[in-house]
């Protein structure tokens, strides 16, 4: 393995889409190693077959960075990448040769870059995160491993910007709560509502995904390892923030939708497909207003955050809490003045009313 200590290599290539498995040791590449030790201020391309070591605490991207299929980015302990408003990432892998974002300790991708043999092994939170502060960065067929080591335990975070994240995999990352907010391995809870985040995989993370109701919530993501379905995430769920100021339909059935807002105000159409599970926080409530409607059958479940028997453990406490009547308030229908009522039915579990 050749180590080259200069900031960047420029290489431009055309990419084509293909299909394949998650595994990608990319053995057909003869790796070079480039140590990145200064911020990127000019438009640049990073090439496949190269390991880029982020060898600084905070790597700032202030121009266009094209990362091409087969490139591997390894982050030193605690390192973070920040894409500033003037910057942009186009990260276009293909299934056979994804782009890898991982720990410097990860020898399974790009080889033993830190040249310590088997003395060290990668683990969740080895490195920090990628923070997107710009518009229109794009990630396709990218794999994110062993991140989430910052004060916000996320690996990829979009901060009030539009982003495209397609066919990516998040595995062995952290996620969790910090400063009163939840952060998934992928945190798009503050991304713009015209973002496209579709068909991504999550497994072996502590918390997989935090998003918001304005982003397309159709099914298509998966939450276990296709090569070993028993490998899931510690906390099972799609964690949602935001209100329902548009028509919403919940369709994912592999994991529950967990609403973080204490009050959910329905003023448009709100539907749950059969076998969808929706969990409400402690003292949470749902109110249906004039012009709004909820649609679901008895095959859907609306239940407590503590209900581990429905969709798994979503509060991360194992068996330390059990659901009980009154965990959340209930669904209050106010569409008919003078005839307001709490909605009954077998789909509604552990609510205080009716």
Q: Where are the domains of the chain?
A: 2-242
For the chain, how big is the Rg over CA atoms in Å? Answer: 22
pLDDT at residue number 256: 97
How confident is the model at residue 29, as a pLDDT? 55
Tokens, residue 12: 């431009």
Q: Please tell me the distance from the alpha carbon of residue 296 to that of residue 100, in angstroms, as a whole number.
A: 40
Spacing of C-alpha 10 from chain mean position: 30
b/e per residue, 144-169, with b = 16+ CB within 10 A?
bbbbbbbebbbbbbbbebbbbbbbbb
Q: How many CB atoms lie within 10 A of CB 95?
A: 16
> Which residues in the chain land under pLDDT 70?
1-29
Q: Please state, in angstroms and rounded to a whole number, the distance separating the CA atoms of residues 166 and 40.
A: 25
| pLDDT score recorded for residue 17 | 33
Asked whether the bond before 256 is cis by omega within 30 degrees of 0, the reply is no
| Burial class (CB within 10 angstroms; exposed 0-12, middle 13-18, buried 19+) of 109 | buried
Nearest to 288 by CA among 242, 332, 318, 352: 332
- What pLDDT score was predicted for residue 6? 33
CA 171 to chain centre: 10
d(CA 211, CA 200): 13
Q: Which region holds residue 114: left if phi is over 0, alpha if psi is between -120 and 50, else beta? A: alpha
Q: What digits encode the pLDDT tens for the residues 118-172?
A: 999 999 999 999 999 988 899 999 999 999 998 999 999 998 899 999 999 999 9
């Amino acid at each position: 393995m050749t180590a080259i200590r200069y900031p960047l290599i420029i290489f431009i290539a055309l990419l084509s889409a293909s299909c394949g498995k998650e595994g990608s040791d990319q053995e057909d590449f003869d790796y070079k190693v480039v140590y990145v030790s200064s911020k990127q201020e000019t438009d640049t391309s990073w090439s496949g077959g190269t390991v880029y070591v982020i060898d600084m605490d905070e790597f700032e991207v202030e121009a266009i960075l094209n990362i091409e299929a087969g490139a591997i980015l390894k982050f030193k302990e605690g390192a973070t990448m920040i894409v500033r408003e003037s910057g942009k990432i186009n990260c276009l892998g293909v299934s056979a040769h994804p782009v890898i974002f991982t720990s410097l300790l990860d020898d399974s991708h790009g080889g033993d870059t830190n040249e310590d043999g088997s003395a060290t092994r990668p683990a969740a939170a080895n490195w920090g995160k990628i923070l997107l502060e710009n518009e229109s960065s794009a990630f396709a067929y990218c794999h994110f491993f062993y991140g989430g080591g910052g004060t916000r335990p996320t690996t990829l975070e979009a901060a009030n910007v539009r982003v495209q994240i397609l066919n990516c995999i998040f595995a062995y990352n952290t996620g969790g709560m910090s400063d009163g907010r939840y952060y998934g391995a992928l945190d798009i809870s503050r991304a713009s509502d015209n973002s496209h985040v579709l068909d991504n995989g999550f497994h072996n993370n502590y918390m997989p995904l935090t998003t918001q109701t304005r982003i397309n919530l159709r099914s298509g993501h998966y939450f276990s390892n296709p090569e070993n379905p028993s490998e899931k995430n510690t906390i099972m769920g799609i964690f949602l923030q935001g209100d329902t100021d548009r028509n919403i339909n919940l369709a994912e059935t592999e994991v529950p939708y967990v609403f973080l807002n204490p009050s959910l105000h329905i003023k448009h159409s709100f539907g749950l497909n059969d076998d969808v599970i929706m969990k409400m926080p402690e003292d949470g409530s749902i109110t249906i207003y004039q012009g709004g409607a909820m649609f679901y059958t008895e095959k859907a479940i609306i239940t407590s955050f503590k209900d581990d028997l429905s969709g798994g453990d979503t509060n991360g406490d194992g068996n330390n809490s059990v659901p009980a009547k009154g965990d959340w308030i209930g669904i209050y229908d106010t569409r008919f003045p003078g005839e307001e009522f709490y909605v009954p039915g077998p789909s509604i579990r552990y609510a205080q009313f009716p």
